[in-house]
Structure 1
């Protein structure tokens, strides 16, 4: 029996995928928590007690994404808020998905429809390896990998690809052995069902998984309709998991799918048609990023379109229709027994892209019309298609030139990913980059102002916050930040003016109420301060710091018995802060002296 050539050895390929992924993200391990990480991780008390998460609040907190948040809770259990551990897990998920992409493409090329008879022109090692290397090295993936809480999208993709792979493996064994109910194929089939369930409990984007399985069966296997139904029905039933998880949720589905919290969400009321029209150029932008990853941005200022007659909309629609038509044409041509197997693989990859992008880029309005991490799952199909198309350009033969070009492309992408991760390296660099690329959008300027304020650069922070108020005059957060900055500078009148406007714009913004209470207290306007603190306490009844501030205000009013009550509440809610206990002892001592 001849030994396999080095180029086709499985362990070497898996090693290459891991090494390229590790190199591309080698400078991402210290990227701080950013954007929605604050509410989902840093201040999320649900994930900070693993026992409570598993047996009490965890499932109720977000039943639709339970598995994703479980991994976050495990990260916190073993590393607290040390960000490195979260990035290690994210990268492990990313590399694992790259390996599964390789395995999926590899077994697909071994299916009866695609298996080559001419071993001299065999590309069964090149297409899977190139597709996987494109996946792990491409800079468009940085938002799904480096932005910690987008682990939810990455984890759903991991289970999604695992499910399709296990299904394909089960069917391949059945085809080869002719024993559909033998132990080994049955095991892979059950693993496929389990992975499908896990994907749908990680993020709602996995809703399309059963449809992709049907596509996979239709394109790559031959079986009677009755037997197809027998195998596809259990997988098809998993489509109910996401809708059932949404039962009892009173929020619009677009808000549920959205990845940005209410605090940072763009205020937008899009109709279904407006969202659909806008998504045509958005998907075209995703395709452009896959081919030419330039001018990436964490917060695009993307125009909303209201008519099919807009030039960008109609041109993008023609592009997408042409691409979809190409996929159907390639499938039709691939039915010829003499056709290159790459044709059907290209068709599959394109159809995968369109099917998986449909959850977030169709008629379900999501306030933020574009985010790069939304192309993470669709990119699996896109990269398989690109690798197969590249093989076709070389007429199905893997020459030294083809390998050299592929290596250059992967290296260039990996270096670009390193460069993009350097932008993610700090809040200042990330939001500075976003503000330069989206100069007319308020949110990047606001987040840049926050980063500047954290760095102690108050004057620069104030300038950016003022820009944010001009661009988004109805947003309360920039006014809150302006008031906070004035308070730090000791200008309490200006602080009160800005914070009063913030509270008026958003009466539920507890942070602004607390800051306004602080400004009143420092001006010795104690009754006004008490009103704001009590309003904030209604919004955040478990926030120990608010109870402590109310206690301080009562102490300043010489009402030490009431101060002691609120200091006691603060100490009970947060026993780890010594100041709460110390102030409680002082208030109790003073009350006894009275």
Structure 2
């Protein structure tokens, strides 16, 4: 295939990537906010005022993920809580990352190491296209794309791949012109640095980017050691962005060390060694999902391992060592004259996977040991390796049968993604699927109970909440939900018992305190209600609804002057709610009548 014909196919390739992604996610635009979306978007006041976000609260809220949350704030500015706009942006990011993966693979096949080792032939268009189509069509990506707040992972991946692709383009231009500081290569080099910075201010997974750049330079370009240092040093320095974002300023060294330790634990009680042992089977699961995407689960009930001698740990470690060893062997073989370019691409893709997964699957304990969105960035390398391996199986050239086989694979993955997005279609279907696959984990049952309660199916919700309390008896939220359900049923004694247990388990759970106050108020136990409301007010001093409930309680006690004070506070905090102003006027009128 001539170069001219390859270039003439570029628009078609980009169209195919976008079309496949759109088809796979065409039923995802109305998937509701779920799970962490609630705290990160729905009830997150920080993202609801764009001016305050940009000039006041935004950077303080999460300096490590400022750019990711900025895009969420922009979504809210233009569409409030209309979920469609968020999904449109997520899909656009996914398509963009797919296109950049295509361009990166295409540029890589033009690097000196591969062109020297032999003509790529049909592989020069087939490998990039197949890799990109695998990336956008694969159902393992649904959690990073359909789950709104996991935009942080997909957006970081977009900037990450953009940085590597820009670096590759800069280096190719330098090789062609022989002038490293000419305008065009320098422009792409600066773009690579800018994209690296953006990736690292979107999510911490971008910490590995400089290591991938070093790997890329080592595997695909030839340069003297001095020049390598000159070009790699600025990129290498970007590795400091994430640690500096983690640390507070103007703190003593002991406090800084403490901050680093806390920041690299991410709310987990696991020891670093136990987390590492557990990650070996987790990585094996990610690899299995990439090859055979079945039994996907939003919330895995994954066992924690405490010994290297455990068979799942040992077998998984052996698998990973074999894969890593294969990458090194393939790299060594690719150095031979006239070696197939696919060998080095496969090696690079495998090493990309291991490097980019290291932040979340190594010795840094994270509360949840496995989540599918964590494989989004590593999958870029994995799919390049798989596409190259597929191409290697057709050494005589990419035949029509090979293209047809690849097409069938992509269509099958697209259909599987579409079906998986049907599961994401509602909270009931998603948490029902999750509870079925993780029957011994409390969180899926609790979230299913919440979804059932929202839909008015109180008896079913109660059963799921009771399962959650049985599986995790020290967690307060399920008891809070049980109390809420009994309250809706009018059984205030049972409600008070369950809500009291919730408050006992977590005295800082303001929602449970408010609900307990409501139950006491409806039982006309007004002093007890007042105690709970005031305790909740200390937890949420800017929550207008709590001030209103205190005002209602004072009104029931015939203390209208005090009721008016709290109604005034509620109306000041939330002037958009007319009920607060109406009750304020009534209390003032009643107080004057007294």
TM-score scaled by length of structure 1? 0.97
Deviation at 1:119, TM superposition (A): 5.5
Mapped partners of 2:427, 2:344: distance in 1: 44
Equivalent pair of 1:431/1:445 in contact (CA under 8 Å): yes
Deviation at 1:252, TM superposition (A): 6.9
Equivalent pair of 1:254/1:366 in contact (CA under 8 Å): no
Equivalent pair of 1:64/1:246 in contact (CA under 8 Å): yes
* Secondary structure of 1:333's aligned partner: helix
Deviation at 1:510, TM superposition (A): 0.7
Deviation at 1:5, TM superposition (A): 3.0
What stretches of structure 2 of length at least 5 have no aligned partner?
Answer: 250-254
Mapped partners of 2:355, 2:345: distance in 1: 15
Mapped partners of 1:253, 1:539: distance in 2: 28
TM-score scaled by length of structure 2? 0.97
Mapped partners of 2:503, 2:263: distance in 1: 26
Q: Do the aligned partners of residues 3 and 227 (structure 1) sit closer, same or farther apart at CA in structure 2, a change above 3 Å counting?
A: closer
Q: Do the aligned partners of residues 444 and 117 (structure 1) sit closer, same or farther apart at CA in structure 2, a change above 3 Å counting?
A: closer
1:1-20 to 2 correspondences below 5 Å? 4-5=4-5, 9-20=9-20
Match of 1:399 in 2: 399
Mapped partners of 1:200, 1:2: distance in 2: 39
Equivalent pair of 1:123/1:396 in contact (CA under 8 Å): no
Match of 1:265 in 2: none
Q: Do the aligned partners of residues 396 and 512 (structure 1) sit closer, same or farther apart at CA in structure 2, a change above 3 Å counting?
A: farther
Deviation at 1:6, TM superposition (A): 6.9
Moved more, 8-17 or 489-498: 8-17
Q: Do the aligned partners of residues 410 and 554 (structure 1) sit closer, same or farther apart at CA in structure 2, a change above 3 Å counting?
A: same
Deviation at 1:569, TM superposition (A): 1.0
String of CA shifts for 1:361-412, please: whole Å, max 9, x gaps: 0001111100000000000000000000110111162111110110000000
Equivalent pair of 1:254/1:367 in contact (CA under 8 Å): no
String of CA shifts for 1:510-554, please: whole Å, max 9, x gaps: 111110010011101111111111111111111111111111111
Mapped partners of 1:2, 1:404: distance in 2: 21
Paired residues, number = 587
Match of 1:575 in 2: 575
1:240-259 to 2 correspondences below 5 Å? 240-248=240-248
Mapped partners of 1:2, 1:209: distance in 2: 34
Deviation at 1:413, TM superposition (A): 0.2
Matched, 1:502 2:511: no
1:326-345 to 2 correspondences below 5 Å? 326-345=326-345
Deviation at 1:269, TM superposition (A): 1.6
Deviation at 1:562, TM superposition (A): 1.1
Match of 1:529 in 2: 529
Deviation at 1:121, TM superposition (A): 3.3
Mapped partners of 2:518, 2:458: distance in 1: 18
Q: Do the aligned partners of residues 2 and 395 (structure 1) sit closer, same or farther apart at CA in structure 2, a change above 3 Å counting?
A: closer
String of CA shifts for 1:208-232, please: whole Å, max 9, x gaps: 0000000000000000000000000
Equivalent pair of 2:247/2:259 in contact (CA under 8 Å): no
What stretches of structure 1 of length at least 5 have no aligned partner?
Answer: 263-267
String of CA shifts for 1:25-58, please: whole Å, max 9, x gaps: 0000000000000000000001000011011101
Deviation at 1:253, TM superposition (A): 6.3
Deviation at 1:592, TM superposition (A): 1.3
Mapped partners of 1:375, 1:367: distance in 2: 17
Q: Do the aligned partners of residues 11 and 343 (structure 1) sit closer, same or farther apart at CA in structure 2, a change above 3 Å counting?
A: same
Equivalent pair of 2:53/2:59 in contact (CA under 8 Å): yes
Q: Do the aligned partners of residues 529 and 67 (structure 1) sit closer, same or farther apart at CA in structure 2, a change above 3 Å counting?
A: same
Mapped partners of 2:546, 2:260: distance in 1: 33
Matched, 1:79 2:79: yes
Deviation at 1:588, TM superposition (A): 1.0
Match of 2:314 in 1: 314
